[in-house]
Amino acid sequence: MYPILFKLGPVTIYSFGLMMALAFLTANYFFAKEVKRRNENEKMVTTITMIALIGGVAGSKIFSIFEDWDVFIHAPIKTFFSASGLTFYGGFIVAMLGILFYLRQHRVSFLKFADMIAPVVLLAYGIGRIGCQLAGDGDYGIPTTAAYGMHYSQGTAKPTAIFEEYFDKHPQERALWQFDSLRAIQVGTDAMGQRINRFDEVVTCHPTPLYETIVAAVCFLVLWARRKKYEKHLGKLFGMTLIFMGTERFLVEFLRINPLYFSLSMAQWISIGLMMLGIFFFFRKKPQPLQSVK
């Protein structure tokens, strides 16, 4: 893991921040390319991208606070201004609402622009997950003995803290990984001065950020290849994006550790809502004009 990529004098370049910037720049490039191809108003591209950026960050933080309310109450200022703890769905929902409001103010079809930007959101999401992987910020999955399991001892969120509650509920795995004995052995500190114990070094986890990056890239390629086919079907590409996005996140959550509400995580419940909305837009029939009565 490489939370810190390098330093330029007093400036520290963090992997997560760099990948987030790359994600938005990439999204802006493909979005502008599609707007130009469709001969739409190119002046709106920068404004919509900025709304997506500001709304995405603000929404991610707000939803994250609600998800970890106890942590926020304990240290509200530190939690609010922390760069960690960002919930993608919160950012996506707030960004989409902001774009909807902006387009309605200019009397422009939301679905027309949603069809152009939605596939690109998946690509940006995949790039952003690379940042999560490099930072090791706790988005990784449960422990695994599979050959493709990865170590996150250098990450910003140590496995010891992430898995403590998980092992309380899975005593057999707790014994298998020798959690209690290995976490008592301190082996050093990371680049940010955080302590590392033997358990952090030994445990391997599902690299769920990489799973999501791969799936997001494949889904983007499918949607991008079909964008001309569905150009005349308003909302269909947006619907497909919501279905892909919801399905991917719903499934990967089974490998991650998040609070459950009626047996599912908050992200899974939102995923179900997005999939249903996506199905509605995908199979929605274009309203037919009324026939004149003779």
Query: Which candidate, 118, 150, 129, places its Cα nearest to that of 245?
Result: 118
Name the 3-class secondary structure at 150. Answer: strand
pTM of the model: 0.87
What's the average model confidence in pLDDT over 209-222? 96
User: In whole angstroms, what is the distance from residue 144 CA to residue 150 CA?
Assistant: 9
Nearest to 219 by CA among 227, 209, 229, 207: 227
**Whether the Cβ atoms of residue 128 and residue 210 lie closer than 8 Å to each other:** no
Mean pLDDT, residues 286-290 taken together: 49
Decide if pLDDT at 82 tops 90. Answer: no
Residue 243 to residue 282: CA distance in whole angstroms: 9
Average pLDDT over residues 186-202: 92
Q: Is the pLDDT of residue 283 over 60?
A: yes
Cβ atoms of 34 and 123 closer than 8 Å: no
Q: Where are the beta strands (DSSP E) in the chain?
A: 4-8, 11-14, 186-189, 195-197, 260-261, 264-265
Assess contact for 236 and 119: CB atoms under 8 A: no
Terminal Cα-to-Cα distance of the chain (whole angstroms): 73
Yes or no: say if 129 and 136 are a contact pair by the CB < 8 Å rule. no
Encoded tokens for 133 = 């992987």
